[in-house]
Amino acid sequence: MTQEFQQKLKHLVDEALAEDIGSGDHSTLSSISAEEEGSAVLKIKQDGVLAGVDVARFIFEHKEPGCSFEVFKRDGEPMFAGEKAFEVAAHEHTILQCERLVLNCMQRMSGIATLTKQYTDKLKGYKTKLLDTRKTTPNFRLLEKEAVRIGGGVNHRFGLYDMIMLKDNHIDYAGGIEKAINKAYDYVVSNNLDIKIEVETRSIEDVKK
């Protein structure tokens, strides 16, 4: 993980745990001593492509830096029902408070990685690349795009800030492809931005322009 990715992931994890735990995990607090330690194993229930193991490690270690995390299968590897992905040993409060977040992330990421792999397998031998989009679950884009990458796809722009993509609405409002491109180019130069300009076309005539 890059430092930037870790910073974004930390924010996501903090917000997700705060959303779930709120004023306290009263089920756990009321029934289990804070000193109790235990372990948990993630057992795979369905064949596919595994994604989210590194994220799971980050979540547990972020919550309890001294925990033990043993990896049996890595992100991007084929997974089969009955296999173990990892085992974590930590305080039981940590395990119980993190397990749902870990499962939610890994289930969704593995589903995306599995479907992406099916598509990228069909593209083998061609120059075509499978790109992702901004049509992601709000506040979960970081991990959905990571799952696409794990499945063999290519991350396109992360948001509205890291690329200019002139779509049909921009082109129509600007008065045509040429005007839209010229305005975008002038904007990039005048603001000293180091970002790409991409153009979405609707016809071969648009491509020629």
Residue 139 in this model has a pLDDT that exceeds 90: yes
* pLDDT tens digits, one per residue of 66-93: 999 999 999 999 999 999 999 999 999 9
CA distance 137 to 190: 34
Contact partners, residue 68, CB within 8 Å, separation at least 6: 88, 89, 90
Measuring CA to CA, which residue among 96, 37, 101, 25 is closest to residue 68? 37
* pLDDT tens digits, one per residue of 194-209: 999 999 999 999 999 8
pLDDT at 54: 98
* pLDDT tens digits, one per residue of 98-130: 999 999 999 999 999 999 999 999 999 999 999
CA distance 109 to 103: 10
pLDDT at 136: 96
CA distance 1 to 9: 10
- State mean pLDDT over 128-145: 96
pLDDT band at 1 (very low <50, low <70, confident <90, very high): confident
pLDDT band at 179 (very low <50, low <70, confident <90, very high): very high
Contact of 70 with 100, CB cutoff 8 Å:
no
Composition of the chain by helix, strand, coil, percent to 5 = 50, 15, 35
N-terminal to C-terminal alpha carbon distance within the chain: 41
Domains of the chain plus CATH, in order, are 3-122 (3.90.1170.20), 164-208 (no CATH)
Contact of 148 with 116, CB cutoff 8 Å:
yes
